[in-house]
Amino acid sequence: MKVKVKAYIHYLKWSWEDKGEFEVFSVKFDDDNHRTYVGEQEIEIEVPDDYDPRAQQIAALEKQKQKAMADYQKTVTDINERISKLQALEYTA
């Protein structure tokens, strides 16, 4: 199926670059010291008729879940290390 979308073309050139480049965004940005707005164009893109984003969304959520689990495990490990160090200290009043 064909889908029409608006494309916003900008010219980007950082001060350390010799040559800038044109980039396309889905939003219009304000001009600043490294990016200027060139123009807007409606483009037509071909999308598969049976496109279903769910598999990609599930994969992204699985990745997010793995990161959350790893962060949680690191936090628990850090807490356990602190507990162990406190238990190893000899208490003096």
pLDDT of residue 71: 98
Instruction: Look up tokens 């608006």; give the residue.
Output: 6
Average pLDDT on 38-52 reads 96
Rounded CA-CA distance 12/32 in Å is: 10
Rounded CA-CA distance 30/63 in Å is: 33
User: Would you place residue 90 in the very low, low, confident or very high pLDDT band (cuts 50, 70, 90)?
Assistant: confident
pLDDT of residue 34: 96
User: Would you place residue 92 in the very low, low, confident or very high pLDDT band (cuts 50, 70, 90)?
Assistant: confident
pTM for the structure as a whole: 0.58
Q: Mean pLDDT for the chain? A: 95
Residue 6's nearest CA partner among 45, 46, 47, 42 is 42
